Structure 1
Amino acid sequence: MRLEDCRADFPITRDLIYLDSAATSLTPKPVVQTMVEYDLRYRANVGRGVHRLAAVATHRYRDARDAVKSFIGGEDGTLAVTRNTTEAIGAVVAGLAWQRGDRVVTTLLEHHSNLLPWLRLRERGVAVDIVQPDADGRLDLADLEAAVRDETRLVAVTHASNVLGTVLPVREIAGICHDRGTRLLVDGAQSVPHLPVDVADIGCDYFCFSGHKMLGPTGTGGLWMRRPDLEPLFVGGGAVESVTAGGYTLAPGEQRYEAGTPPIAGIIGLARATAYLREIGMDTVRRHDERLAARLIDGLAALDGITVMGADAETERIGVVSFTVRGMHPHEVAQVLDEAAAILVRSGHHCCQPLMEHLGLPDGTVRASTYIYNTEEEIDMLIATVEELSRRIV
């Protein structure tokens, strides 16, 4: 599939310029149609009945989960279906047996969902060490390595910053963790939609991601585990092999982590989303995002009164660009862009308030985030509209 041909699958793009995919991506028609087909043709619960609809639904659901697992290169591990990245990270927090005196290492680049759960562990006597990036969002690996001590049970880092677009060297971080005998969790919410991802090649122990940022439906996501060594977050129907009045035996593999009815239509839709991305090619997606980000960074950086945050366009990055307009609150900028040119961007702290404080941005930033349905003409329209704003305030 050519990128030029895919815009027809996203009707919203006819009426506006959507540049908020880092929050939630748009969903193409084939994904929606796949989910509708489940509801209209073979809607039934999975793993429970023996009638024909249950058999079809179970087969389609398990195939879909396998397809999502394959998309991230996780065939040799275990993929538990979750509602989102936040739930996946929470399942790791809840699934490990923490002891007083344990330590966790994370960074100031993290989304609140990969920071607050670790801070909460302080209530149980677990210490949290936070590594600070430089002003461009780069981590010094020597600083991270120095933070990993004998008591460190786990390192938790984002794969790509949802504020600055910076891609972290997760393979190198995995090497540090393995050398020091600690586990690595990678937050892949921003990387899976935009970069070719191979969890086996990364070498992480846990990898968390969301479906709604990668053309899939909301309420879907995944927790990939190199080994199924976590206690399940929930137990109940569907997660057990046998139950007596005296106890229970959990089911093997993924099933033990999926108590209750899973988001059946959602996961089938998410699998279709991964197929859609495969048809385009993730290397093509990556290059497209990099090209649009470079165009936007160069265009904004040339304007008076505009400050672009993060590393330059030559740095490995996803299509996320944050900026500020002198004399204007980010929310005001976002509102003007919407009303004046139907350009939709995110504004504020982006669920990264500690990072904003570190960067000296108490009000946050304006964030434009691209995806496969965005064009160079849309980027130029954003630059031109921001230029008009900057002229008003000079």
Structure 2
Amino acid sequence: MTERNKEFFPDELQNKLRDQFYYLDTDLNGDKRLFFENAGGALRLKSAVEKYTEVSIIPDSPVRNYDIAQIINQYITDGKGDIRQLLNATGGEVAISLTASKIIFEMITAAAIYLPKGNVVATSIDHPSSFDACQFSSEQYGHELRVAKADAATGSIFLEELLSHIDEETRVVSLILTSNITGAMHDLETYTKAIHDKNSETIIIVDAVQGAPHELIDLSKCYVDGINLAPYKMFGLRGTGFAWMSERLAAVPHHRLLATDETNWDLGSATPALYASFSQVVNYICSIGQYFIGEAERRTLIEEGMTRIQLQEQAILNRLLNGTDSIEGTKKLKNVTIHFEAANGVKQDLILAMTFSNISNSRAVEIYKENNIQVFARESDSHYSKRILEAVGLESLVRVSPVHVHNAADVDEFLRVTKLINEM
């Protein structure tokens, strides 16, 4: 197991980054709060919100040929370019929808309708938007649904288990990059290459909503036909979801205005402000890269920025688990069980999946809230959680999900409250 990074961002950078977010340490009412619930909501980048406001108040249509129209149309072009740069994707099509869940549902369904009857492979820890799309498409269009089982210790899908469900009749494979419940991370290059080697015709569709804000993605090294992003999970705005599709997936019959290109997935007028806002997110990532390596090409800065974000988050996770000389980490508390991390090591996203033996998980969340810390209880009575929790043998868990702008003091305050709960 590779050892985690233990070094936090330099104070100069940390303070600069923290200033760029709304509600980092207070809530809407102005009350003190640590927001450790970024796998459900997510902190908002000020520049993303400000840019959206700046562009959205412009009344002009981007599909005209005069100067202002051309300016705002450029935001769309640049935004799509930044999505490609973030993913290191060439060719294909960038699409937008109301949510990332909607766009992945559309991608899976369109592929399943178009392809001849066979089988569709999902996993037991897929988000409902992709799992339900696979189940719906299989039932409606005559495919067999196959479900790869999760490993309870890691909360992940082992590659061998996934491959055992794939054969020459497999039409679509759904793969989650990172689980927003277990925190397990799948190696996209390794998994998609193995799927492609077994059946080069199968359409591979990836849910990257949880993974994209926390790890570097490089589609130039992968066999991916469709992948989705949720800007709000990447410090951008709610109300939109982006996707990149390969030429073969983009070209399958789908809802579109018939006079447009067969690979066009945009229905109606584009929203320049949403693209402009997301470009600010990419600018932010690049600024982190620039801090460490200076001026460079945009993709190089993205690579450095995302690598540094992941290292920072591994340092946060290390402190959450192991504490310091002055405060105990969660792994040392007798009434706390940490799930998945020991088996995953550095293949664990910055999600701490905890259960308490001396108190209910839901009550623990209430006590965190009483102490100004926002976390979340994943319970089996939620349609978002039930199937996934059952897949890893749990009825509930406390999910703790900070992000890279949290610092050592934030972690230590969380550990202080966790020790208090542990001793009840």
In the superposition, the TM-score normalised over structure 1's length comes to: 0.89
Q: What 5-or-longer segments of structure 2 have no aligned partner?
A: 1-11, 27-32, 289-304, 323-328
* 2:180 equivalent to 1:162: yes
**Which of 210-219 and 367-376 deviates more?**
367-376
Spell out, residue by residue over 1:259-302, the C-alpha distance to the aligned partner (whole angstroms, 9 max, x if none). Answer: 11233312210111111112111111010111111221331121
Task: State whether residues 94 and 233 of structure 1, in contact with CA within 8 Å, keep that contact through their aligned partners in structure 2.
Answer: no
Q: 1:263 to 1:365 in 2, by over 3 A?
A: farther
Q: Deviations over 1:77-110 (max 9, x none)?
A: 3211223321121121232235674211121121
1:249 corresponding residue in structure 2: 259
User: What are the Cα deviations for residues 228-260 of structure 1, in whole angstroms up to 9, with x where unaligned?
Assistant: 534464324xxxxxxxxxxx432365xx21111
Q: Following TM superposition, by how much is the alpha carbon of 1:202 offset from its aligned partner in structure 2, in angstroms?
A: 2.1
Q: Is 2:93 the partner of 1:60?
A: no
Q: SS of the residue aligned with 1:315? A: helix
Return closer, same or farther for 1:39/1:145 CA change in 2, 3 Å cut-off: closer
Change (3 A) 1:217 1:27: same
1:165 touches 1:318 (CA, 8 Å); kept in 2?
yes
The equivalent residue for 2:340 is: 310
Change (3 A) 1:382 1:58: same
Partner Cα distance (1:3, 1:91) in 2: 39
> Distance in 1 between the 2:308 and 2:89 partners?
21
**1:75-114 mapped onto 2 (5 Å cutoff):** 75-96=90-111, 97-98=113-114, 101-114=117-130
Distance, in Å, in 1 between the alignment partners of 2:271 and 2:99 is 11
Judged with a 3 Å threshold, the aligned counterparts in structure 2 of structure 1 residues 43 and 322 are, in CA distance, closer, same or farther, namely farther
- Asked whether 1:291 is paired with 2:307, we answer no
Identity of counterpart residues, as a percentage?
A: 19
Q: How many residues align?
A: 375
Superposition deviation, residue 30 in structure 1: 1.4
Equivalent residue for 1:45? 61
Closer/same/farther in 2, CA of residues 113 and 277 from structure 1, 3 Å limit: same
Secondary structure of the residue aligned to 1:250 is: coil
- Indicate yes or no: 2:220 matched with 1:200: yes
SS of the residue corresponding to residue 94 of structure 2 reads strand
Moved more, 273-282 or 6-15: 6-15
Aligned to 2:19: 8
Counting only pairs closer than 5 Å after superposition, residues 249-268 of structure 1 correspond to structure 2 as 249-251=259-261, 256-268=264-276
**Counterpart Cα distance in 2 of 1:166 and 1:156:** 16
Select 1:383's aligned residue among 415, 418, 422: 415
Q: Match for 1:227 among 237, 243, 247?
A: 247
Q: Secondary structure at the match of 1:249?
A: coil
Residue 361 of structure 1 is matched in structure 2 by 394
What is aligned with 2:300? none
Say if 1:177 and 1:183, in contact at 8 Å, map to a contact too: no
Q: Counterparts of 2:254 and 2:312 in 1: how far apart (Å)?
A: 38
- Indicate yes or no: 2:124 matched with 1:127: no
Residue matched to 1:25 = 42
Aligned match of 2:369 in 319, 338, 355? 338
Across the aligned residues of Structure 1 and Structure 2, the Cα RMSD in angstroms comes to 2.0
Return the TM-score normalized by structure 2.
0.83
Using the TM superposition, give the Cα deviation of residue 189 of structure 1 relative to its aligned residue in structure 2, in angstroms. 0.5
In structure 2, do the counterparts of structure 1 residues 320 and 35 end up closer, same or farther at CA, with 3 Å as the change threshold? same
Equivalent of 1:72 in 79, 87, 91 = 87
Aligned counterparts of 1:382 and 1:189: Cα–Cα separation in 2: 26
Is the 2:114–2:253 Cα contact (8 Å) retained in structure 1? no
* Paired AA for residue 355 in structure 2: T
Using the alignment, how far apart are the partners of 2:312 and 2:179 within structure 1?
18
Cross-structure match for 1:149: 167
Alignment partners' CA distance in 1, 2:390 and 2:315: 29
Contact 2:205-2:226 at 8 Å conserved across structures: yes
